[in-house]
Amino acid sequence: MLLFGMVAHPLHAQETNAGAKKQLFIDVHYLGPGKVTYEAVAQAHAKDLATEGKYHVKFLKYWVDTARGAVYCLSSAFDTAAIVKTHAAAHGLLPDHIYPVTAGSHAVADGGKNLYLDFHEFGPGNVKAANVAGAHKKDLAVQKKYGVNFINYWVDEKEGVVMCLAEAPDADALVKTHKEAHGLIPKSVEEVKQGN
């Protein structure tokens, strides 16, 4: 399973005094159906925010799929170990997977519609960020026809995963947009609630 989200500014190339660069990550927690509430995730996120400075992590957004019991966290960090350490110290809920991602272009959410994360899995090494940017432009050209608003996308080139965040009337509208735009149907579409 994948995930993606939105970011208002590029943090994946932020320099530090030592010359090391931060990059973006999406970490995923699979807790299981019926085992997560938005309120509990908001409390855990507050603990992450209180702890993140110790490990030089910056949590940016998170998304909760209560039906599937999945939580997706977008952060900026120097490495995956820092993210794991932050979660461990904050609340002990360790991620099941961490994707190093490159963010796409950001659009403003217009509200009033359901929010979805969809996941495309192409296989390790089978996707390039430049190609995803081209497909995203095609999505943008078609989205209004189906009442969709693509907010952002993230690409993990190594694992061949693309995650798209969009507002839509329903999951079917999102799938139809992708199908008409370029034919790349997501493996899964999850309705989520976002937190900051």
Query: Which pLDDT does position 19 carry in this prediction?
Result: 66
Mean pLDDT along residues 12-17? 40
9 has a pLDDT exceeding 50: no
Give pLDDT tens digits for 45-88: 999 999 999 999 999 999 999 999 999 999 999 999 999 999 99
Say if pTM beats, i.e. exceeds, 0.85.
yes
Q: What is the DSSP string of the chain?
A: -------SS--TT-B-TTS-B-EEEEEEEE--TTS--HHHHHHHHHHHHHHGGGGT-EEEEEEEETTTTEEEEEEEES-HHHHHHHHHHHTS---SEEEEEEE--------SSEEEEEEEE--TT---HHHHHHHHHHHHHHGGGGT-EEEEEEEETTTTEEEEEEEESSHHHHHHHHHHHTS---SEEEEEEEE-
Name the residue with higher pLDDT: 3 or 167: 167
Tens-place pLDDT, residues 25-55: 999 999 999 999 999 999 999 999 999 999 9
- Whether 4 has a pLDDT exceeding 70, the answer reads no
